[in-house]
Structure 1
Amino acid sequence: MIFKQLNKTSCKTYLIGSENTKEAIVVDAVLEQVNEYVSLIKNEGLKLTHVLDTHTHADHISGSGALADLTGAVYVMHQNSPVRCVAFHVPDGFDCHLSDIPVKVMHTPGHTKDSMCLIFSDRILTGDTLFLDDGGAGRTDLPGGDPGEHWESLQKIMQLPDHLVVYPAHEYRGREPSSLGEQKKRNPNLQPRSKEAYIKWLTDMKLGSADWMKDVLKANYACARDPKAAWIPVDAPACEIKGTMSPGVNEETVPTIPIAEVMRRVEANELDGTVILDVREPAEFKGELGVIQGVVNIPVEQITQRLNELEKFKEKEIITVCRSGGRAHTAAAVLLKAGFRKVFNMSGGMTAFRQAEKIKK
């Protein structure tokens, strides 16, 4: 079997082909690199027969439609996919062959409604259904996500043979692919939990989806061919926020500060010893909720990578803020774990802050 991972970024694209017939498929293509894929396929003397997306992507513009256009390959996704330019939809359990290589489709919703895994004799391409080690799995709080369905999908994966090597659609920290047997031991999302406990575990993370990811989903539904069809942070670990945090972040107890107290300090201009850290995307500042003047803005997905920028505030009181409190809670937990001692989450976020302003008037 020919098997290559084609990208240097956290988004993983796989080329899989037959040594005998030189027929190949590409899985989870990234639009910006389509021309590179075409050159590689030509230089390797391969014939691209199909391009597949394991799910509708929320963190990058898919290159599968463009790659199909350039090569004449057939664009394949699960039958639940809303992507308009898909040419062939496959159901759960669909058995097919890549020339002389058998591959089976397994529907694994939870991250998205159309998520699927591709099972070969010795490996499994898991998309965002399952990541590696402490990376866990793809988030379930985006449009179409469902933690209950994700639990059910993981139970299906748990029944597969331990020897299968796991190849996910994302890897943010250089973790190496390993066997499903190893993942059953090390991956937090595969540890024994009831469905109810799993839903609570994910729901308690309170991540809150980023608006930019919803824009990317819409662009992919419409088969966008422009890499700038939606604004995307550079290589942000957006699909795996919890997996990129230090161990123990989930267990951090985060103190809160009342909205009324924050309002009082803002109105009285008593913020000299306080830093308000807004962890929303910059584009959100233009919405109706606006922004508190003088905030420091670092999106929650970037907190772990930019802790050095906050070192100068380590002895000050830091109040984390987002739209409704979920992302701010996550950011506060990261800071507390990193040794920041005076960190508070403004519970309710800017939504509650603006509501309180209206009531006061």
Structure 2
Amino acid sequence: MIFKQLNKIACKTYLVGSEATKEVIIVDPVLPQVNEYVSLLKDEGLKLTHVLDTHTHADHLSGAGALVDHTGAVYVMHQNSPVRCVGFRVPDGFDCHLSDMPVKVMHAPGHTKDSMCLIFPDRILTGDTLFLDDGGAGRTDLPGGDAGEHWESLQKIMKLPDHLVVYPAHEYRGREPSSLGEQKKRNPNLQSRPKEAYIKWLTDMKLGPADWMNDVLKANYACTRDPSATHIPTDTPSCEMKGTMSPDLMEQQVPTITIAEVRRRLGTKQLDGTVILDVREPAELKGELGVIPGALNIPVGQVAQRLKELEKFKEKEIVTICRSGARAHTAAALLLKAGFRKVLNMSGGMTAFRKAEKTPQ
């Protein structure tokens, strides 16, 4: 099997194909890199048969139309796609073969109406339906998004085999692909909660779509071949939950505290003036990483709405923690912008905290 991730940016493009026939497909291409893709195909003697977009993208311009122009490949999307130049529209459950490899299409709406996953025997390309670890999943508040539909799509994913390796359409913080079994343990969007609770959880985040993303959607509906068709901020985590928070919040400098220092304070019981704020989801607290005794739990999506509960700690030092540090950084930025002066993010999160416990001093 030929399998390559072609981009150095947060948007991920996958080349998949057969070693025997050298026939390949490209999934989720980005327009500015089309010439690079074409050169790679030529240099490696590969024949591009199909180009697929897992959904209509809101954060970058699709290179699918341009690739079709260059190679004559067939442009494939889900049958619900509004993109005008799609050549072949596939339904949910569509079974096909990429040369000698079986591939199954799974419709997975929620991020968009036309979102789909591609299931191979040993891996799954999840598009924006599912990201990695605390990256969670693609946002559901853009045109065509629906939190309830996303919950239903995730239930379908939960029924898939644990051995499948998850390859998303975006990765903003260097997380590595891992098995679906691991994601079921670690990804906050895959934690067990009723549909109504999931909808409330996402709604409470109050993300607010960015105007420029609506412009990108329109350009992709029209199959633009112009890389400068609309302004796109460089490599921002725009499709991820909380990805388009206000620029001043994203740029907020957040001081950190080391795992060693937190462990030292715990060991010497010097936490009287410190509040540990765990911003993971309640279900995560029951997982393998456990909790720090005495920690206060407010999920990151609720911090902005529950600031009054934290007012009594405004003069104390607050240490925010999550699984790996990303959500804790967001929570710390929110608190600092709200006037809390002594806020620190525990670098590396609970993953690093537990690893340090196993490392000899």
- Between the aligned residues of both structures, percent identity stands at 78
Give the TM-score normalised by the residue count of structure 1: 0.72
Which residue of structure 2 aligns with residue 303 of structure 1? 249
Secondary structure, in 3 states, of the residue corresponding to 2:185? helix
CA contact (8 A) 1:25 1:51 kept: yes
Instruction: Report if the CA contact (8 A) 2:112-2:145 is conserved.
Output: yes
> When the two structures are superposed, what TM-score results if normalisation uses the length of structure 2?
0.72
Are 1:343 and 2:338 counterparts? Answer: yes
Name the amino acid aligned to 1:211.
D
- Could you tell me which runs of 5 or more consecutive residues in structure 2 were left unpaired when the two chains were aligned: 256-300, 308-327, 340-361
Aligned 1:122-137 pairs, distance under 5 A: 122-137=122-137
DSSP 3-state at the match of 1:212: helix
Residue type of the alignment partner of 1:162: D
Query: In 2, distance between residues paired with 1:212 and 1:87?
Result: 27
- Counterpart AA for 1:307: Q
- Residue in 2 aligned with 1:38? 38
Amino acid at match of 2:98: L
Residue 241 of structure 1 and its aligned partner are, at CA, apart by 3.7
Q: Given residue 230 of structure 1, which amino acid in structure 2 is its aligned partner?
A: T
Q: Distance in 1 between matches of 2:330 and 2:7?
A: 31
Q: In structure 2, how many angstroms separate the alpha carbons of the residues matched to 1:73 and 1:204?
A: 43
Q: Is the 8 A contact 2:304 2:334 kept in 1?
A: no
Residue aligning to 2:24: 24
Cα distance change, pair 159–221 in 1 and its aligned pair in 2 (3 A): same
Cα distance change on mapping 1:93 and 1:342 into 2, 3 Å = closer
Aligned length in residues:
275
Query: Which residue identity lines up with residue 56 of structure 2 in the other structure?
Result: T
CA distance in 1, matches of 2:30, 2:179: 26
Say if 1:236 and 1:302, in contact at 8 Å, map to a contact too: no
Alpha-carbon distance, 1:341 to partner:
4.8
1:60 is matched with: 60
AA at the equivalent of 2:332: K
CA contact (8 A) 1:105 1:119 kept: yes
Going from structure 1 to structure 2, the CA distance change for 1:31 and 1:124 (only over 3 Å counts) comes to same
Shift of 1:185: 0.1
Residues 15 and 24, structure 1, Cα contact 8 Å, conserved in 2: yes
Deviation, structure 1 residue 228: 1.3
Q: Which residue of 2 aligns with 1:154?
A: 154
> What SS does the aligned partner of 1:192 have?
coil
What is the aligned partner in structure 2 of residue 290 from structure 1? none
Tell me how far apart the structure 1 counterparts of residues 101 and 81 of structure 2 sit (CA, whole Å): 25
Aligned to 1:269: none
Root mean square deviation, CA, Å = 2.6
Task: Render the CA deviation track for 1:54-87: whole Å, top value 9, x for unaligned.
Answer: 0000000000110011000000000000000000
Closer, same or farther: CA 197–35 of 1 in aligned 2, 3 Å: same
Unaligned runs of 5+ in 1: 245-279, 281-298, 311-325, 345-361
CA separation of 1:236/1:342 partners in 2, compared to 1, >3 Å: closer, same or farther? closer
Question: Quick one: which amino acid aligns to residue 161 of structure 1?
Answer: P
State yes or no: 1:195 paired with 2:195: yes
1:15-73 per-residue CA deviation (whole Å, 9 max, x = no partner) reads: 00100000000000000000000000111110000000000000000001100110000
Structure 1 counterpart of 2:163, which letter? Answer: H
SS for the counterpart of 2:82 is coil
> How many Å apart are 1:230 and its aligned residue?
1.2
Cα separation, partners in 2 of 1:131 and 1:41, compared to 1, 3 Å: same
Aligned partners of 2:171 and 2:30: how far apart in 1?
A: 14
Q: Deviations over 1:279-312 (max 9, x none)?
A: x9xxxxxxxxxxxxxxxxxx626733x22499xx
Identify the residue that residue 14 of structure 1 maps to in structure 2.
14
- Give the secondary structure class of the aligned counterpart of 2:239: helix
Alignment partner, residue 48 of structure 1: 48
CA distance in structure 2 between the partners assigned to 1:142 and 1:214 by the alignment: 8
Cα displacement string for residues 100-119 of structure 1 (whole angstroms, at most 9, x for unaligned residues): 11000000000000000000
Tell me by how many angstroms 1:337 deviates. Answer: 1.4
- Residues 301 and 162 from structure 1, CA distance in 2 versus in 1: closer, same or farther, beyond 3 angstroms? farther
Q: Which segment drifts farther, 121-130 or 227-236?
A: 227-236
Q: Is the 8 A contact 2:254 2:333 kept in 1?
A: no
User: What secondary structure sits across from 1:25 in the alignment?
Assistant: strand
Change (3 A) 1:339 1:168: closer
Is the Cα–Cα contact under 8 Å of residues 303 and 334 in structure 1 kept in the other structure?
A: no
Residues 341 and 122 of structure 1, relative CA distance in 2, 3 Å threshold:
closer
Decide whether aligned partners of structure 1 residues 199 and 342 sit closer, same or farther in structure 2, where only a CA change above 3 A counts: closer
